[in-house]
Amino acid sequence: MSKSATALNSVIHLQPQIMPLPADLPDFEQTIIQHKARIRRNRVRIFQINIGKKCDLACHHCHVEAGPKNPDNMVGDTVDRVIELLTNAPDMEILDITGGAPELNPHFRRLATAARNAGKIVYDRCNLTVLFQPEQEDTPEFLAANGITIIASLPCYTEDNVEEQRGRGVFDKSIKGLQRLNALGYGKAGSGLELNLVYNPVGAHLPPSQAQLEADYRAYLDKHFSIVFNSLFTITNMPIKRYRHYLEREGMLENYMLLLVENFNAAAAAGVMCADTLSVGWDGKLYDCDFNQMLDIPINGNPTTLWDIQSLNDIPTGIAFDNHCYGCTAGAGSSCSGALL
């Protein structure tokens, strides 16, 4: 690393490139140095757990490559270690449970309940269709009874766009799932039950204005289905795994990467989620974010597991970067909680 890079990013470990950029586009390290962007880890506020890659869907944009046949699932001993660490982490505010479809892991309810008992906010990243799977009939009631925040995937409010990305029949199930959650109080003022939706672009472009799109979602879903929700999160599709394969097949990878690079926003870079989030894989390995996890880029560039740390205070301040990071820093920015600006 050059002296200039060290000066600008004194607490950041820059990962050697493992995701080549097409053509002559600048790599992410060069760009953050050029813009004097400072990205550093603060205290761990969000503990994001990928509890497994098993899912009832196999969406085209899925960076996890989740699906019905994916066997990767967090086991009981690993869940026990997660519970131990979060219970003894007073500064950790949020347990963000993701997948796959996290509800399909047999330890999901035990983990969520333990976190709530420890006073943590719990997010369930729900694909909505899982609520109609066998043995999931009472999942909405479980979530409501424990005050769990639902972050639900709905990549568009129209049937054609949803099913292009997620498969036939998904839209109807998603709408019925949302209506069922609304019936329990989710998304309704004063209920204390928070329901947020997630939008991902169907094509190779950046998300539109989050505020404007939220207004469009709200008006359409209310008018046609009497559905209400709290907030909409717009998330940029990351050029990794299944979505990268799609871009390559369609001959759009270079143009998409150029779009991300040309729209790099230093202000968005300052608020990226790796600054306060710790990502944990189904096997207990630690990562700076969910996207690094899927590329097997370990935290701070050094392989580390839940059993290698005594507490969340032991997490190193360095962050491992690669060229997919352009996806989080383009335009208004992108995080697991939507736009950054």
Rounded CA separation 77/306 (Å)? 11
What pLDDT, on the 0 to 100 scale, is given for residue 62? 79
42-237+273-317 CATH: 3.20.20.70
| Residue 226 pLDDT exceeds 90 | yes
pLDDT band at 280 (very low <50, low <70, confident <90, very high): very high
- Read off the pLDDT of residues 68-116 as tens digits, 9 standing for 90 and up: 999 999 999 999 999 999 999 999 999 999 999 999 999 999 999 999 9
Cα separation of 176 and 166, whole Å?
16
Gyration radius of the chain over CA positions: 19
CA 160 vs. chain centroid, Å, equals: 24
For residue 306, pLDDT over 60 is answered with: yes
Whole-structure pTM value: 0.92
Catalogue the E-assigned strands of 170-265.
195-199, 231-234
Cα 138 to Cα 16, 126, 143, distances in angstroms: 46, 14, 9
Computed over every residue of the chain, the mean pLDDT equals 90
Segment 142-192, tens digit of pLDDT: 999 999 999 999 989 999 888 887 888 899 999 999 999 999 999 999 999
User: Would you state the structure tokens that stand for residue 279, as one six-digit string?
Assistant: 């990502």
pLDDT tier at 3, thresholds 50, 70, 90: very low
- Cα within 13 Å of Cα(184), Cβ side: 23
Give the model's pLDDT for residue 82.
Answer: 98
Q: For the segment 315-332, what is each residue's pLDDT rounded down to a tens digit? A: 888 899 999 999 999 999
Percent of the chain with pLDDT over 70: 93
pLDDT of residue 165: 79
pLDDT, one tens digit per residue, over 11-42 is 333 444 456 666 678 889 889 989 998 888 88
Q: Is the pLDDT of residue 268 over 90?
A: yes
Q: What is the spatial distance between Cα 6 and Cα 100, in angstroms, rounded to a whole number? A: 37
For residue 61, pLDDT over 90 is answered with: no
- Report the candidate in 226, 137, 148, 220 with the shortest Cα–Cα distance to residue 191: 148
Tokens 């209400």, residue located:
228
